[in-house]
Structure 1
């Protein structure tokens, strides 16, 4: 009956071991405490962890009972299973180092003495990493917060408690400078935030910034397309000085106005000066201070309060008679003009009334 029970336990161990071992990272000397907890869980599941704390039963060959012999045999089988599971969770270099040890407890104690001390030195290293950790704009904010929380869990696993409010304040303080305004908003909410609500707020803000960046990128791309289309629509000679110079170089023959070569008549400066005799060059500025003209050549000059008025069109006179050359009119601009005739003019108003 005992032999059947041992066989059943061995079969169960073989069924559980490969599946559970595939989930374990091989121990390389780092994170000993984490590895130890995982292996202890595995050995407890296999019901062989007791061999690490219980020595092999001492059995006298002469006076041993069947139960004592069976108990010793079971312990030896469980020790073999426990030893194999521990060795199989080690890297190849560590496996070769501890494989000569035949007792599972011997291997376990050797690992404990060597790497537990090393882990104690890692406490200060983990704390230093936590305070030196920086959140940047180069990576997603939430991913970096997750990395920071992994360090926190390692510190807590080493027996160093970290208050949740302290973690919230540290994350807010470590946000990059581009989050300066939002960091102030989070500080005002600090007393009401926990880790879960803080990560939710960061997720919302990060999504908003990502959408804003995508929108700006689309607007920039659209503006670039419009600029390219505008350049395509320009005539090659519009605003292109090099094209103008090339066109000028291609012109041959003499001007029909000044008979000089190198330009056409429409570009002739002498012709422009003649056609625009009353204009000035672009480099000069002319200012007219006073004009003694009527708005229309056929109009009548009316001087309010005067007894005589001036008209340049004799057809406007109701009665008209010529005068001699001896009468001249002195004008305000210090010039004189001859009077051709005199008469009576009838002025008609828009109201229908008239005056002579």
Structure 2
């Protein structure tokens, strides 16, 4: 009865197409084989059964006293099970996989081939899986259950390759992979228990995930789309409260995302990765910087009118706008015909410059902007930016235009269009009176004269007293008074003659040869006695031979050895023959730094 029930049980197993998880598919198939009683067929290569040999007694012959003999005969039941297992495997794989195993005769052979094809037990694969396991990090964009599933999948793949990892090690690695929002939980689990299991860690992380989700719902306001900052302070603008106030301060940065590193918890100004790459001051902004402004960090473009924002457009030939009130200078130099996408043409009526407050805190000037009254959008031509040498980079809905590593413009992708991350500075706010520093002007005119001398001239009536005030910092004066540090005096004591030798080669192939045809002379100085030897040669190649002659002569005369030789890095001294000779005779080599003849001043 039980056997009939098992044979009639039908289990649907998804087809393996070669791209899914082979380990899970294999586990389901083995479970199905067990239900149908076919597990032994997959691992048992023998299709025979052992039966005893029946002997017929012969009259008049003595019967042998040995043990009963057996023999192997084909087992029809095993053949039937083998056909069932073969059919199950064929029906449980896709066409792409079946073509690779259809030549197999038995289910055992087919199962073994699948293992070889999709269970890579090579050393590179084992190394890859273990690196993936030990460097696993939780993905904040996925839920805890999805992260656990990814982690357990790696563990299952390692188990299939006989790479065993204890449950405690799994728990520790998963605990260390948690994101910073789970730091308090990780600290509690680490120091509050004697042992740790993966089940306990996963359960605690799931509970913490639910708490964070509930807290996020409670703290989420109806309208928090405008975020501004000024001098490092953060403000949050939202709906009015019961007292009618429309602005409230918020010191929380937990939901703020950094534009530079794409991580939460801080803004671009405080980004450690940005400071590490560009320094504390960050990348400079392109254009004429005149003042720092309070700016919107995440202004929702939908809250602005289309005629108030700029679109970065790769299809337009010029910068164009319909807002004549934005121009800081305007020239009515005739019209230009502009062809639109529907083959309709409109005319421009002059051009000029417009100031933009890009969200880096600086004011940039956009030149050669066409005034097109019939235009409904303000367009920045990316082709024009490229023409003037601006490069761009982007990704994740952001784009940045820069030149000489200085950011000029940034854009955000919204509804398929890149909108300028910034706004126009109205001409009224740009008409700032330029106040020249008359003190700095007289300081520059009079050859960077000091403030005391300027006051003397002012006292004599040569300069208006109102034009002489405290002198601000002058970078040119600082640079002019700067000087290089001098070289330290080299101090060393030579005990004996020939203990320290200075050598240098003088001359040039362009000088007039001497009467004997010499154009070079080798200068050798003993550091202890200051004895000087001069040896003349025709070419630089003779330097090594001349030095060997001198060394043999002098060492024989004073009965002492040359210990240290100091030269420059000329090829007449730095070659294989010279180096081998010094090594053979135990001479230590001292060489000066490249292009610093001051270090070889003795010779």
Task: Output the TM-score relative to the length of structure 1.
Answer: 0.47
Whichever structure has more helix as a proportion of its residues is 1
Structure exhibiting the larger radius of gyration computed from Cα positions: 1
Q: Which has the higher contact order (CA 8 A, sep 6+)?
A: 1
Whichever structure has more strand as a proportion of its residues is 2
